[in-house]
Amino acid sequence: MADIYVIIVTYNAMKWAEKCFTSLRHSSVPVKSIVIDNGSTDGTQEYVKTHFPEVDFIQSPENAGFGKANNMGIEKAYKEGAEFFYLMNQDAWIYPDSFRQLLDVYHTYPDNTQIGILSPMHLDGSEKKLDLHFENYLAKDLRNNRMLSDIYFNETKTYYEISFVNAAHWCIPRKIIEKVGGFNPYFFHGAEDYEYANRISYFGLKIIVCSKSKVIHDTVQSFYKKEPNSKAEVIKTARLSMQMQRETKYLDPNYDFNIKREKKALLSYLLKMGAKGNINEAKFYREQYRYFSKKFGEIEAARQTSMTAQHPFLNL
């Protein structure tokens, strides 16, 4: 039985399927792979089943989104006895020793019960640079872990603690799945990994990046999935991001959430923008007030589940 179960959610994955699944075959640590397909229309299902019959393939009856689909894979892997749950994007692949290096850190860490998420180093599709987003996450913690200084002076440690890394490559131990659970189904796609990382922090656990373990994430090397064509698109993207950040903050169990106070704050922003004559911003906050007034009950319920439920959001 494989100790590591690799869980991949696919949606039109043909561009990367050959590299992704071939790389798993060549892992020096044997793995079991589970794919949850979210309704691909490019032939992904047939390709994976034909060329990689060792993959346990699950066809979701609908596009369940990133979090719910991953939860399906986590539940199956857990029931089959997985010790490590490796969540990997479809646009990603590994090197033969990637998992071995992760496990070496896990087994030599002073107290591995504190490890919530293990991450390798994410390279971009060229395999010659760090993934832009991953590099940005690393940069935010350099003042604390001094990783850059260690690299510069050839004193790189085998692992560093960081506050966040995206879920393109996450290795989660079994005990963490039991404690923290799965992804919050509140999000269809977009901020699931941020919300999960907040829960990792809430339970006093750590996110560890392993400097000797390298993997690839062949994503767009830009902070926009597609470059905006107009000022209106920039504003729309920024406002959607603000809304998702607000939802993530509200859902964070570390945050002192109070519905009455949050409603008052949104109304205050609305009135302030109106008084300044900034009609567009006032309209935006009016829409936010209406949106969240309908969402606050769902947010509160999700918060309680994440903090108090047994293996939250999973059917184990």
Three-state secondary-structure class, residue 257: coil
- Helix, strand, coil: what percent of the chain each, to 5? 50, 20, 35
Q: In this structure, are residues 38 and 60 in contact, taking their beta carbons and an 8 Å threshold?
A: yes
Outline where DSSP puts E strands in the chain: 4-10, 31-37, 56-59, 84-88, 92-94, 115-123, 159-162, 169-173, 206-217
Could you tell me which residue, 273 or 1, shows the higher pLDDT?
A: 273
Q: In this structure, are residues 70 and 196 in contact, taking their beta carbons and an 8 Å threshold?
A: no
Mean pLDDT of the chain, nearest integer: 95
Could you tell me which residue, 214 or 230, shows the higher pLDDT?
A: 214
All residues at 6 or more sequence positions from 279 whose CB lies less than 8 Å from its CB, including other chains: 273
pLDDT for position 228: 60
pLDDT for position 226: 62
User: Hey, how many other C-beta atoms are within 10 angstroms of the C-beta on 148?
Assistant: 12
**pTM assigned to the model:** 0.94
Q: In this structure, are residues 6 and 21 in contact, taking their beta carbons and an 8 Å threshold?
A: no
The DSSP bridge pattern shows strands 56-59 and 169-173 to be unpaired
The Cα 60–Cα 129 span in angstroms is: 35
Lowest mean pLDDT among 132-146, 220-234, 269-283: 220-234
The Cα 57–Cα 30 span in angstroms is: 18
Q: In this structure, are residues 94 and 16 in contact, taking their beta carbons and an 8 Å threshold?
A: no
**Is the per-residue pLDDT at 225 higher than 70?**
no
pLDDT, tens digit (0-9, with 9 covering 90-100), for 141-193:
999 999 999 999 999 999 999 999 999 999 999 999 999 999 999 998 889 99
Model confidence at 239, pLDDT cuts 50, 70, 90, reads confident
- Percent over 90 (pLDDT), the chain: 91
pLDDT for position 64: 92
